Structure 1
Amino acid sequence: MPSGKARAADPGRSSTEAVSRVVDGIKHLIMSGELLPGQQLRQEKMAATLGVSRLPVREGLRQLVADGLVTHEHNVGFAVARLSRSEFDQVYLMRRLLETEILRGLPVPTASQLARIAALSEEIERAAAEFDLARMRALNSEFHFAIFELSDQNLVVGEIRRIWTRALPYHSVYLHSDAGRERIVAEHREIVAALGRGDRERLVELMDTHRAGSEAQLDFVLQAGAARPFAG
C-alpha cells in the first residue's frame, strides 16, 4: 500500500470506542446527580446527549446492566438502578468484610505509591473547596482504590469495585453539606497518615468510621423515601 494512502477506518474499533463513551458518559451523569436512582433512561435522549447513534447506547446500557448500575425491565426499558433497604444493607456488609480483609493484608506503600495517594487526597480537598461535587466523587473512588490496589488480591479488589458500582447512584448525599465535605477531607488525611505508618489496625478503624458516615446518610435517605444521590 502506498505510504501516502490513508488507512481504512476500523469499524469494530469505532464501535467499541462509541460504547465506551456511552458507558463513561452515563456514569458521569449518574455521578453528577443529573441521573437519579430509578430514573428512566430513554435511548433516543441518551444518544442525543452523548452524540452517538442508538446502537452504542443500547450496547452501553446492556454493559451497565451487567455492572449493576442500570436495570432493564421488559416492556418498560432501562432505568438507573435503585437499592432496596435489604440490598443497601448487603452492599455495606460486603464492603466491610472484603475491605477489612484487604486492608489488614496491605504492604507498606512505597514512597511513590504513598505520594500518589496523598496527592489524590489533596485533589479531593481542592474539589471540596471549589464545591465541585462530581469531581470530588470521582476522586474519592480513585483515592480508595489506589489504596485497595496496593494489595495483590486482585480478584477480591475487583469484587469490591463491583460492589461499589452497585451503590454508585447514591454516592454523594452528604457532599452537599459543609460538615460532610470537611469530615471526608479530615478522615482522608488520617487514612493517608495511618497508611504511611503501616498501621493496619488503625487503617481498618478509620475506614470503618469513614464507611459508617456514608452508610448513616443513605440510611436517612432510605427512611425518608427519597431518591437523591449519595456519596460512599
Structure 2
Amino acid sequence: MPAERKTGTRPQATGRVVDELRRMIVGGELLPGQQIRQESMAERLGVSRLPIREGLRQLAADGLVSHTPNAGYAVARLSRSEFDQVYLMRRLLETEVLLRLPEPDPERIGRVARINERVVQAAERPDIAAMRAHNHDFHFAVFRLGDLDLLIDQIERLWTWAAPYHAVYLFSEESRRAVLREHAEMIDALEQGDNRRLAEIMDRHRQGAEAQIGAVLESGSLAVPGPS
C-alpha cells in the first residue's frame, strides 16, 4: 500500500473510531466504569488496534474515558463529589453566558426553535440517543447566540464529563415531558429578550437532571456490565 494512502487512511479510521465510541458512551451502550477491550472493539468496528488506541487517547483527552496503567481504558466514572462540582461549574458558567446574551435576533432564535423541533420528534418516538444529541445542539445553539466562546468551550467540556450519565434522566417519560416544557419556556424567554428569566428556567432545567442523576450515583444503582 502506498505511503500516502496509509497516511490518509489512518486519520479517517481514527475519526470513525472516535465517533463510534463517543456514540456508544453518550447513548448509554457503554456505561461509566465499563472497560473497553481494544481487541474486541477493533473486531467490532472492522479496524486494526492502532486507530482504536489512537481514538481512545483522544477520548481520554476529552474526559470521556480514563486510562489506568496495566489495566487499559474504561468509560470515565464520576464520584458524587466530582459530579456535584461539574454541575456547580455548569451553573456558574451557563448563567453568566445567558445573562450576557445580546438582544434577540429572530432569525437565529428561529434556528434554535427548529433544533428544538428535532428534540420534540425524538422524544415522541422515543429515541433517547437522538434526543440527547439534539438536546445538546439546542443548548449550545442558545449559548452561542452570544460571543463568549472561551466560556462556552469550558461548558462543553463539562457536558462531556457528565454525558455518560445523561441518558438516566431521559429514560423517564415524565423527565422527557419536563425537558420539552422547559425548552419551550426558554424559547419564549429568548424571544422576549428576558435573559434573567432564561437563566432561571435553565437553573430549573439543570436541577431536574442533577437531582435524578445524583440520586442514582448516591445509590450506586448504575450497573456496569462485566468484561466482554
TM-score normalised by L of structure 2: 0.93
**Is contact 2:90–2:155 with CA below 8 Å preserved after alignment?**
yes
**Is contact 2:67–2:73 with CA below 8 Å preserved after alignment?**
yes
54, 60, 71: which one pairs with 2:66? Answer: 71
Distance 1:59 1:44 in 2: 13
In the alignment, does 2:181 pair up with 1:186? yes
Which stretch shifts more, 182-191 or 108-117?
Answer: 108-117
Post-superposition offset of 1:154: 0.8
**Is contact 1:37–1:169 with CA below 8 Å preserved after alignment?**
yes
* Aligned counterpart, 1:58: 53
Change (3 A) 1:8 1:61: closer
Change (3 A) 1:187 1:13: same
**Is contact 2:104–2:192 with CA below 8 Å preserved after alignment?**
no
How many matched pairs? Answer: 223
Post-superposition offset of 1:47: 1.2
* Aligned counterpart, 2:221: 226
Question: What amino acid does structure 2 have at the position aligned with 1:110?
Answer: D
**DSSP-derived class of the 2:73 partner:** strand
* Aligned counterpart, 2:119: 124
Give CA deviations for 1:159-202 in whole Å, capped at 9, x if unaligned. 11011101111012121121111110111011111111110000
Question: What amino acid does structure 1 have at the position aligned with 2:19?
Answer: D
Post-superposition offset of 1:12: 2.6
Distance 2:108 2:132 in 1: 21
Give the gaps of 5 or more residues in structure 1. 1-6
**DSSP-derived class of the 1:100 partner:** helix
Post-superposition offset of 1:62: 0.5
In the alignment, does 2:212 pair up with 1:217? yes
* Aligned counterpart, 2:97: 102
In the alignment, does 2:146 pair up with 1:151? yes
Q: Work out the percentage of aligned pairs sharing the same amino acid.
A: 55
Distance 1:97 1:216 in 2: 17
**DSSP-derived class of the 1:167 partner:** helix
Post-superposition offset of 1:227: 2.0
* Aligned counterpart, 2:133: 138
In the alignment, does 2:127 pair up with 1:168? no
Post-superposition offset of 1:108: 2.8
Question: What amino acid does structure 2 have at the position aligned with 1:155?
Answer: L
**DSSP-derived class of the 1:172 partner:** helix
Which stretch shifts more, 148-157 or 135-144?
Answer: 148-157
Question: What amino acid does structure 1 have at the position aligned with 2:27?
Answer: S
93, 98, 114: which one pairs with 2:88? Answer: 93
* Aligned counterpart, 1:4: none
Give the gaps of 5 or more residues in structure 2. none
14, 19, 24: which one pairs with 1:19? Answer: 14
In the alignment, does 2:26 pair up with 1:31? yes
Distance 2:118 2:51 in 1: 33
Post-superposition offset of 1:19: 1.2
Post-superposition offset of 1:22: 0.9
Post-superposition offset of 1:114: 0.9
**DSSP-derived class of the 2:77 partner:** coil
**Is contact 2:169–2:209 with CA below 8 Å preserved after alignment?**
yes
Change (3 A) 1:31 1:125: same
**Is contact 2:27–2:129 with CA below 8 Å preserved after alignment?**
yes
**Is contact 2:34–2:75 with CA below 8 Å preserved after alignment?**
yes
Give CA deviations for 1:36-90 in whole Å, capped at 9, x if unaligned. 0000000012112222211011001011111111000011110000000110011
In the alignment, does 2:196 pair up with 1:201? yes
93, 109, 113: which one pairs with 2:108? Answer: 113
Distance 1:206 1:195 in 2: 11
